[in-house]
Structure 1
Amino acid sequence: MKENNNKGLMNWIIKFLKGMLIGSGAILPGVSGGALAAIFGLYQPLINFLSNIRNNFINNVMFFLPVGLGGLFGLFVLATPIDYGLRFFPVFVLWGFIGAIVGTLPSLYKEAGREGRETRHIVITIVTAVLMFAFLVYANNNLNIDMAQNTVSWLFAGAIFASGMIVPGLSPSNFLIYFNLYQPLTEGIRTLDFSVIIPVSIGAVVVVLLFSKLMRKIMDVAYAGVFHFILGVVIASTAIIAPALSLYEGFGVMDYILVVVIFLAGLLLGRWMGKLEERYK
């Protein structure tokens, strides 16, 4: 009995940590909450739940409760330090996230091949990674649209935010930056501005409920293809958040050593999370 209780507590803690990383990663430019959910083995259960929300409702709520609490913690509590880190220590913060994502890639690769892997699936991963990287480079350099900040734009922002969960690999933060809504949104989250938070939440919920059934149907007929596509997008989005060379200006030897240490710490965290996922799945 004690062993079962310990296992249940560890499971709860693991899901809380996953939710925390998904929540904090969702507001990090270049990172997709859906891709992180896939990496941590939560994407398919989440889509199954949302696509048929009345089925095993209580059990599903209890399963995702620690994930949701961790996500809220990562989104609201960590928003301020992450934003501060990105403004003043972007190289260290970004390499920490890159390390964590790279550390989980073996688990995602294993999950992608759970229902079989053929040569065409590897081709899907490579082609997706190349095309997505090219698109992100183009978008970062060419897309810059001014959108008025009002209820409609926040509903739109919520829809974009939720799209990053429904379509793994789609980084909502990047698209919010293209529409010049990213900084105002993170500011609204930090200051608990409900004129921002409420319409964003409504837009997100509507998109999740509308498109989760579609994603479930796609996964039912092309599971391996979908996950190898996700793998390619994760590789591209991880590469795109690598800090620009200009950010290293003024770095000394100790700074580079610290970057390596932070990257390795993130890598070990990612591998640890991946192994725990396989152990407690």
Structure 2
Amino acid sequence: MEATKNNNSLKHDLILAVQGAIVGVGAILPGVSGGVMLVAFGIYDPLMELLSHPKEAIRKHGRMFVPFVIGWVLGFVLLANAVELLFETSSAVALMLFAGLICGTVPALLKKSELADKTQGRTVGWTPLVLTLAGAYLFFSVLSNSTGGSIQPNTWWYLFCGLVWGLSMVVPGLSSSSILIFMGLYEPMTAGIARLDFGVILPLVIGLVITVAATARYVNGLLQSNYALASRIVLGFMLASTLLIFPTSFPDALTLVISLACFAGGFVVAYRMDQAEERDGIA
């Protein structure tokens, strides 16, 4: 019995590490929201608790954060170059893979939201999801069609980058990388991080902390008081941003086939992860 429990615990840690690696890679990719993947892998709620009530969250979820953070660092440091190479080789294949990973978690998210309806004794309905999906899709579409201005990066603009990046952590579906690319800030920001330029890193971190500190408690409060409503709003953002990263064209038939295979593979991996956690009784 004890051995089974230890095996399940180890399996859970490995799953969390893999999920952390995926989030770490996705956080720096244009068009992919790190917040969406946090939601998709069930890390969003505990993270909001950590940001709004650190002591309580560490006592409650500390066991979860350790393997996830280790995976995130490994993914960010070791896999980022490989994923960037994949994007350079075929952005269509890379985006279909990440879209599959996100879509594979939707069944579990819908099930959890429906369960919240029953346990909280209220019927929210699916109107919030539909309205959020439509509104977010329109907003992101307008944003993606806009053109970036001729902004000269400086300390204040890097502070702005941190504010936007922090917002994308709190609001799943908001891709900070996409916004910063449109404004011409993404490349100088990432170049500064790569060369460990603290003139870039410090204002970036300060901006991120300001946004998270100012908004995380309110977002977490909404999740605690009315999870069904909050989860459907978040899911609307998630679906809208995911729809927008689907490639609209493919250079040839082979790329299309490979892209579809990657989407299917990503979907199955994410779906099986959710099934494994549910089967092992892991919250």
TM-score of the superposed pair, with normalisation by structure 1: 0.89
**Which residue of the partner structure matches residue 213 of structure 2?**
209
Alignment of 1:85-164 (within 5 A): 85-116=86-117, 121-164=125-168
Q: Structure 1 residues 196 and 62, CA, compared in 2 at 3 Å: closer, same or farther?
A: farther
For the 8 Å contact 1:18–1:70, the answer to whether it is kept is yes
SS in structure 2 of the partner of residue 112 of structure 1 = helix
SS in structure 1 of the partner of residue 274 of structure 2 = helix
1:66 paired with 2:70, answer no
**Which residue of the partner structure matches residue 39 of structure 1?**
40
For the 8 Å contact 1:26–1:33, the answer to whether it is kept is yes
1:267 paired with 2:267, answer yes
Q: CA deviation at 1:276?
A: 2.4
Q: CA RMSD in A?
A: 2.2
Q: CA deviation at 1:56?
A: 5.6
For the 8 Å contact 1:76–1:190, the answer to whether it is kept is no
Q: Structure 1 residues 109 and 59, CA, compared in 2 at 3 Å: closer, same or farther?
A: closer
1:228 paired with 2:232, answer yes
**Which residue of the partner structure matches residue 179 of structure 2?**
175
Q: Structure 1 residues 153 and 276, CA, compared in 2 at 3 Å: closer, same or farther?
A: farther
Q: Structure 1 residues 260 and 175, CA, compared in 2 at 3 Å: closer, same or farther?
A: same
For the 8 Å contact 1:38–1:168, the answer to whether it is kept is yes
**Which residue of the partner structure matches residue 186 of structure 1?**
190
Looking at structure 1, the residues matched to 133 and 73 of structure 2 have their Cα atoms a distance apart, in angstroms, of: 30
For the 8 Å contact 2:12–2:277, the answer to whether it is kept is no
Which consecutive unaligned segments of at least 5 residues does structure 2 have?
none
May I ask how many residue pairs the two structures share in their alignment? 277
Q: Structure 1 residues 64 and 149, CA, compared in 2 at 3 Å: closer, same or farther?
A: same
**Which residue of the partner structure matches residue 58 of structure 2?**
57
Q: Structure 1 residues 41 and 144, CA, compared in 2 at 3 Å: closer, same or farther?
A: same
Q: Which moved more, 1:159-168 or 1:109-118?
A: 109-118
| Alignment partner of 2:169 out of 165, 168, 187 | 165
For the 8 Å contact 1:156–1:203, the answer to whether it is kept is yes
Q: Structure 1 residues 58 and 202, CA, compared in 2 at 3 Å: closer, same or farther?
A: farther
Q: Which moved more, 1:108-117 or 1:40-49?
A: 108-117
Q: CA deviation at 1:52?
A: 1.1
Show CA shifts across 1:101-132 (max 9, x none): 11111111112223107775311111211221
Show CA shifts across 1:206-231 (max 9, x none): 32223211112222333211110111
- Output the amino acid matched with 1:201: V
For the 8 Å contact 2:117–2:123, the answer to whether it is kept is no
For the 8 Å contact 1:121–1:228, the answer to whether it is kept is no
Q: Structure 1 residues 212 and 239, CA, compared in 2 at 3 Å: closer, same or farther?
A: same
Q: Structure 1 residues 274 and 190, CA, compared in 2 at 3 Å: closer, same or farther?
A: farther
For the 8 Å contact 1:33–1:171, the answer to whether it is kept is yes
Looking at structure 2, the residues matched to 11 and 192 of structure 1 have their Cα atoms a distance apart, in angstroms, of: 33
Looking at structure 2, the residues matched to 272 and 161 of structure 1 have their Cα atoms a distance apart, in angstroms, of: 30
For the 8 Å contact 2:46–2:57, the answer to whether it is kept is no
For the 8 Å contact 1:162–1:208, the answer to whether it is kept is yes
Q: Which moved more, 1:82-91 or 1:141-150?
A: 141-150
For the 8 Å contact 1:122–1:228, the answer to whether it is kept is yes
- Output the amino acid matched with 1:31: V
Show CA shifts across 1:179-225 (max 9, x none): 21222233334444444333322322332223211112222333211
TM-score of the superposed pair, with normalisation by structure 2: 0.89
- Output the amino acid matched with 1:51: S
Looking at structure 2, the residues matched to 96 and 84 of structure 1 have their Cα atoms a distance apart, in angstroms, of: 14
- Output the amino acid matched with 1:40: F
Looking at structure 2, the residues matched to 164 and 96 of structure 1 have their Cα atoms a distance apart, in angstroms, of: 21
